[in-house]
Amino acid sequence: TKDVLVIYGQEAEEWALYLKFLFGHIVSEGGILLYNLETSTFKHQELFCLPSYKCKLLILSCGLLNCLNQERCYFLEQVLKPLENVVILLCGVENSRILYETLTLDGGSREISTDQKPEEYIAVVTGIIQPDHQTSSDINLTNIRAASETTDFSSKNEVLSKSLETKEQSILVLPKRVSCENPGEIFILLKDEIDDETLEIEFISDNQQIRTQTASWNKKVKYVKALDFPAGPVYVNIYCGGVIKTTAHIEYYSALEEIEPILEKVADPIAFTCQFSSVEKVDNVLTLLLKSKVSTYEFSPFRSGEEHRQQADSHLEEFPTLLHCAARFGLKNLTMFLLSCPEATWACKITNKYGDDPESIAEKHGHKELRKLIKEL
């Protein structure tokens, strides 16, 4: 059956995927079609089959509005019929006024926003595809308004904003950011007590979907060990009795991502790193990384002969080769590895912008053992 058609722009693709997952609770996955308005080719037969979907949900984003041309406008005017079966999800835009000014649409659609709860999305779509369906009493439909109720769009959105500000959040998921290296625990804070046996948490990433039960800290605080995910966004659904009560968005981050912006701002990243970690550790890590790269890609840590000659003539860099860098910071393991490379003899002869070769750099900074290793090459 053709149940739900989700039309979206490229920037709202994650929202489209999430809605497909969400509506999969009320209709079969095969009855949901995601249609990217920016990348689609607008085949003629699509104008005959797409309008037959029971519910059409348009994710109205800035990107979608910006991509509208004459062809896409005509397409939307033909597909978004009848408007009483159309839902507009405001995604980063205040209202749908510009859409109605751009398209020729008769009647009014239903309008929801990204600030609302998942059960509200389910309720409004269910009301279209199953008109006789009675929504459960715990679903709050206060913020789901029909776009045709009033022509005063600014007034309608002002009321919506106020209702969202005053609405209390009954379930809170913390923390919002989780370390990939040390995920720790996810805590679920409840306004009201919930039966532990019916409370479940679901993690959804690009290629994983895992659902598990929570443990109890006390009557209103539940927790679960955070699962291992790569860096990036992860959606979290909280279930009670098999029904989604809230959806949260958490961000997994890596230690490298955290420190990278800092290193980009410092004048000397290696010296800065050595302040917080022993030189030996930095030495070992750099050597290991370089060895793996050389063995895997047959990548030379030095430049080509022609580049060497250009560098020798210009003297513009402090570290014309990695060997100069290793000599400066006393990285013994890295130096020994570099000296074993075929082009080490050439690198030892190159001077930097201060006129120093690797041997003199090591001597200048008190690395006597490194100076001896380089000199004996």
60 has a pLDDT exceeding 50: yes
- pLDDT tens per residue, range 98-125: 888 788 877 678 899 988 888 889 989 9
- What is the rounded CA–CA span in Å between residue 140 and residue 144? 9
Q: pLDDT: is 1 or 230 the higher one?
A: 230
pLDDT recorded at residue 268: 58
Q: Which of 374, 283, 258, 264 is nearest to 334 (CA)?
A: 283
136 has a pLDDT exceeding 50: no
- What is the rounded CA–CA span in Å between residue 131 and residue 129? 6
Q: Which of 215, 226, 126, 221 is nearest to 176 (CA)?
A: 226
Separation of CA 329 from chain center = 36
| Contact by Cβ (8 Å): 244, 119 | yes
Report percent pLDDT > 90 for the chain.
11
pLDDT confidence tier of residue 247, bands split at 50, 70 and 90: confident
| Contact by Cβ (8 Å): 361, 328 | yes
Contacts of 254 (CB under 8 A, 6+ apart): 179, 180, 181, 231
312 has a pLDDT exceeding 50: no
Q: Which of 98-112, 256-270, 296-310 has the lowest mean pLDDT?
A: 296-310
- The b/e string for 112-143 (b: 16+ C-beta within 10 A; e otherwise) is bbeebbbbbbbbbbbbbbeeeeebeeeebeeb
In the predicted model, what is the mean pLDDT of residues 186-203?
A: 80
pLDDT recorded at residue 371: 92
Q: Which of 312, 315, 293, 292 is nearest to 304 (CA)?
A: 312
**C-alpha torsion angle, residues 48, 53, 57, 61 (rounded to 10):** -20
| Contact by Cβ (8 Å): 54, 4 | yes
Q: Which of 264, 256, 259 is nearest to 230 (CA)?
A: 256
Tell me the C-alpha to C-alpha distance, in Å, between residue 79 and each of 54, 73, 83: 11, 10, 10
- All domains of the chain in start order, with CATH: 4-166 (3.40.50.10140), 171-255 (2.60.40.1220), 266-375 (1.25.40)
